[in-house]
Amino acid sequence: MKKLLLLLTGVVLISGNALAQELDQDNPIVQEFLSDEQVLRKIEKSVVSIVSYGFGIGTCSGVLVMEDEKNSYVLSAKHCIDSSTEEMKVEDNKVKSIFPAMNDDIVYLVVEGKIENKTPAPLALYNSEIGDKVYHFAYPNWQPFSSIGQIIKVNNDWQFIYMESHHGCSGGGVFNSKGEVIGILWGFKKSPSHDRRNPGQLTYSIIEPVEDIYKFLKELKL
């Protein structure tokens, strides 16, 4: 059975104009403030489940960032694919093309048709900063999962978030309070808690930040 091909043509990339919203200059700008519950409901509409078939069946998550009349375009984590992958599906739609990043754990998927009941999410213009509140949604083992966290550390490659995540959350979007994608989750680490009031383990989730996503999309030259 043929392996899923890595096609490098025929993809329309997100334009910078798609990130901007048209404002009526005659009216004052009104900032939309959403509750945590409202943000999670909003981002759920853009997050998708991904299944890959090869030597076995693997599950991951992704975020829909664009669509047109023929295709949908999804960001996920690169480690969700490997040499044994023969076929991938996003929700019930077949993946047509795969564009893996060279140096980051990001992959860009071209998906056949529009994904039912899903809406593209915009990318944030800049990386979030330490202390910012962020929101995550994913489908580990096909089950919806959400969490809220705070960015606690950044370096040249990744951002670290005090936020719960699990196996199968990889590729899921991490968002700001506006519902904009600020990163793609690719891993997590559990550490013992030193807080006597909250014994147990703390989860630190790790993301590829949005500025790395922009660099990756620019490198594709699509």
Give yes or no for residue 8 having a pLDDT over 90. no
What is the average pLDDT score of the chain? 82
**CB–CB of 100/6 below 8 Å?**
yes
Q: Which domains does the chain have, with CATH numbers?
A: 34-120+216-220 (2.40.10.10), 133-210 (2.40.10.10)
Pair of tokens at residue 11: 């993809």
Phi, psi angles (nearest 5°) of residue 78: -65, -35
User: 148 vs 37, 79, 110, 145, CA distance in Å?
Assistant: 10, 24, 29, 11
Cα distance from N-terminal residue to C-terminal residue, the chain: 29
Task: Measure the CA–CA gap between 141 and 59, rounded to whole angstroms.
Answer: 6
Query: 50-78 pLDDT, tens per residue?
Result: 998 877 788 899 999 999 999 999 999 99
Percent of the chain residues topping a pLDDT of 90: 60
Mean pLDDT value across residues 91-117: 95
Strands 201-209 and 133-138: unpaired
pLDDT at 29: 46
Query: 118-175 pLDDT, tens per residue?
Result: 999 999 999 999 999 999 999 998 899 999 999 999 988 899 998 988 888 999 999 9
Q: Return the H-helix or E-strand segment holding 97.
A: strand 93-100
